[in-house]
Amino acid sequence: MPAIPQRVPYVMCAVALVGLYGWLATLGYGQNSDTYAILRSWQRMVDSGVYVPSRGQGYPVPELVIGWLASRGGSLASNAFSVMLALGTLVLGYDGLRRLNLPGALPATVFVMANPHWAIAGTTSLDYVYGAFFFVLGVWLLSREWSTAAMLALAFATGSRIVYGPLGLGVLVAAWMVAPLEQRRDRMERIVGFCLVSGLFYLPALITARVTTNFLYHTDPPNNALAAHVARFLWKTPGLYGNVGAVILVLALGPRLWRLARDRAAWRGLSAERRLVVAGALGVLGYSTLLFAYLPAEVGYQIPSLLAVAVLLAALEVPTAWLAALIASQVLLMVARPDVLTITTAPRGCMDATVPVGATFDPAVKPGVLVAHVGQVRAASCRLWHLPHPVGDAWTPLPSPRLSRPKLPVDPPLDPPAPRP
């Protein structure tokens, strides 16, 4: 089949997904309680002039950007920026893969775009896509020898989500190792600059924590007994791709990775550039998986794994049939989710964490990830009533604390306004 006609279905799929992203961005801030913690952090900072992290060690870049945009244009403004970052990440990633002459660059990019967890992260006011965008931007800039700009982009990735710190450092160290001797001093300066700029992002959180390591604290998932921890990891790890997608991924990538691991001639047969890309993707995948094993809370934590898998799909030249099946599995995961377990949770209110209390063997086709998201996202706007300066709906810009007296968090009214139709 000629190359151009083969691209047409992927381009059509990408265009349809852009339209879907646009619609999802109109549904409100999102259903993740962390989003509303970010908005609360912004309002309190403007109230008092003191930065208090939204949770854990803080996410300074998205906390500032999301809060400022929401105060100007409500959820439409902050969500629209997330869409721009999500699509920008994919464009940069595709361009990098294309310049390596990888025939699977386009389908691998559409695979990420079709993943419903990426779609939700890229259309709501959350920090996942901020770190991903700046990390991919940093790698893209480094591949073009713009080392100072790359260093700053990787530092901004760390300032968006601190877990990108080791990844950014690893990228810069790898660039230092492969650089000619005359360029190594310059590359080492970029490593030092990255550490300094990244540290500046977390200086306010360090001061808030009274200059202790308490600012690195994170909240464990509810019901985090060892058995529940292991079960959560085993159930949620393939959940990033869905059970169908996970099986296809193992069948598509497993034999190729096994062959490279066993056959040195096959590994040496790859170009030096291709070997570096594969090794880097495997490093990101391993790091992200280990980190998720340590804290298996939200599936969105595995977004670096999703990007790394897409790179492997392109770099190992997985056949078109496998790539098409993977994209179809992600579209299926949007609307329907074949599963064998039903997780039961404790009753919860609007602001309470979801507490799993058990699981039952229940083979069935469950609602897909996007179907469930759309059904819950508007109801989640009740969290707006718990902000220091509450608003009635997600489409109204957050009130400026400078124009109103600071208020303590309030309980929601008995009959809050109905969600916008």
The answer, yes or no, to whether residue 188 has pLDDT greater than 50, is: yes
Average pLDDT on 276-280 reads 91
Residue 148: CB atoms within 10 A of its CB come to: 12
What 268-276 contacts at long range (C-beta under 8 Å, 24+ apart), as own/partner pairs, is 273/100, 274/100, 274/315, 276/174, 276/178
Residue 420 banded pLDDT, cuts 50, 70, 90: very low
Per-residue confidence (pLDDT) for residue 413, from 0 to 100: 44
What single-letter DSSP state applies at residue 216? G
Residue 365: CB atoms within 10 A of its CB come to: 11
Average pLDDT of the chain to the nearest whole number: 87
Average pLDDT on 165-174 reads 94
- Decide: 149 and 193 in contact? Cβ < 8 Å: no
Average pLDDT on 285-305 reads 92
* Residue ranges per structural domain of the chain: 3-126+202-403
Residue 139 banded pLDDT, cuts 50, 70, 90: very high
Question: Distances from the Cα of 6 to the Cαs of 9, 103, 107, 139, 215, in angstroms?
Answer: 7, 11, 10, 28, 50
The answer, yes or no, to whether residue 149 has pLDDT greater than 80, is: yes
Q: Which residue has the higher pLDDT, 46 or 348?
A: 46
Rounded to whole angstroms, the Cα distance separating 85 from 123 reads 9
Per-residue confidence (pLDDT) for residue 11, from 0 to 100: 93
What single-letter DSSP state applies at residue 345? E
Rounded to whole angstroms, the Cα distance separating 232 from 130 reads 26
The answer, yes or no, to whether residue 314 has pLDDT greater than 70, is: yes
Tell me: the pLDDT tens digits for 386-396?
A: 899 998 889 89
The answer, yes or no, to whether residue 92 has pLDDT greater than 80, is: yes
DSSP-based three-state secondary structure for 131: helix
CA 157-160-162 angle, 5° bins: 80
Which of 44, 25, 24 has the alpha carbon at shortest distance from 36? 44
Find all residues with CB under 8 Å of 262, minimum gap 6, and list them. none
Helix (H) or strand (E) holding 269: none
Rounded to whole angstroms, the Cα distance separating 244 from 115 reads 13
Task: Provide the sign of the torsion angle of the four alpha carbons 189, 156, 285, 276, taken in this order.
Answer: negative
Find all residues with CB under 8 Å of 220, minimum gap 6, and list them. 295, 297
Residue 211 banded pLDDT, cuts 50, 70, 90: low
Per-residue confidence (pLDDT) for residue 271, from 0 to 100: 85
Per-residue confidence (pLDDT) for residue 354, from 0 to 100: 67
Rounded to whole angstroms, the Cα distance separating 70 from 78 reads 6
Rounded to whole angstroms, the Cα distance separating 73 from 395 reads 8
Per-residue confidence (pLDDT) for residue 216, from 0 to 100: 63
Rounded to whole angstroms, the Cα distance separating 380 from 192 reads 42
Q: Which residues partner with 364 through β-bridges?
A: 339
Find all residues with CB under 8 Å of 407, minimum gap 6, and list them. 388, 389
- Decide: 163 and 291 in contact? Cβ < 8 Å: yes
Q: Which residue has the higher pLDDT, 253 or 265?
A: 253
Q: Which residue has the higher pLDDT, 27 or 415?
A: 27
Give pTM, 2 decimals: 0.90
Residue 177 banded pLDDT, cuts 50, 70, 90: confident
Per-residue confidence (pLDDT) for residue 1, from 0 to 100: 40
DSSP-based three-state secondary structure for 179: coil
Q: Which residue has the higher pLDDT, 225 or 146?
A: 146
Average pLDDT on 239-250 reads 94
Rounded to whole angstroms, the Cα distance separating 193 from 405 reads 41
Q: Which residue has the higher pLDDT, 247 or 48?
A: 247
Per-residue confidence (pLDDT) for residue 290, from 0 to 100: 95
Helix (H) or strand (E) holding 49: none
Average pLDDT on 125-154 reads 95
Average pLDDT on 304-320 reads 94
Rounded to whole angstroms, the Cα distance separating 76 from 123 reads 10
Per-residue confidence (pLDDT) for residue 353, from 0 to 100: 64
The answer, yes or no, to whether residue 171 has pLDDT greater than 50, is: yes
Per-residue confidence (pLDDT) for residue 214, from 0 to 100: 60
The answer, yes or no, to whether residue 172 has pLDDT greater than 50, is: yes
Per-residue confidence (pLDDT) for residue 198, from 0 to 100: 93
Which tokens in the block code for residue 264? 């040195």
Least confident of 40-44, 74-78, 155-159, 379-383: 379-383
Tell me: the pLDDT tens digits for 352-376?
A: 666 666 677 778 788 899 999 998 8
Tell me what percent of the residues of the chain surpass a pLDDT of 70.
87
Which of 11, 7, 61, 4 has the alpha carbon at shortest distance from 38? 61
Average pLDDT on 309-316 reads 95
Phi, psi of 297 (to 5 degrees): -95, -75
Task: Render the burial of 195-213: b for 16+ CB within 10 Å, e for the rest.
Answer: bebbeebbebbbebbeeee
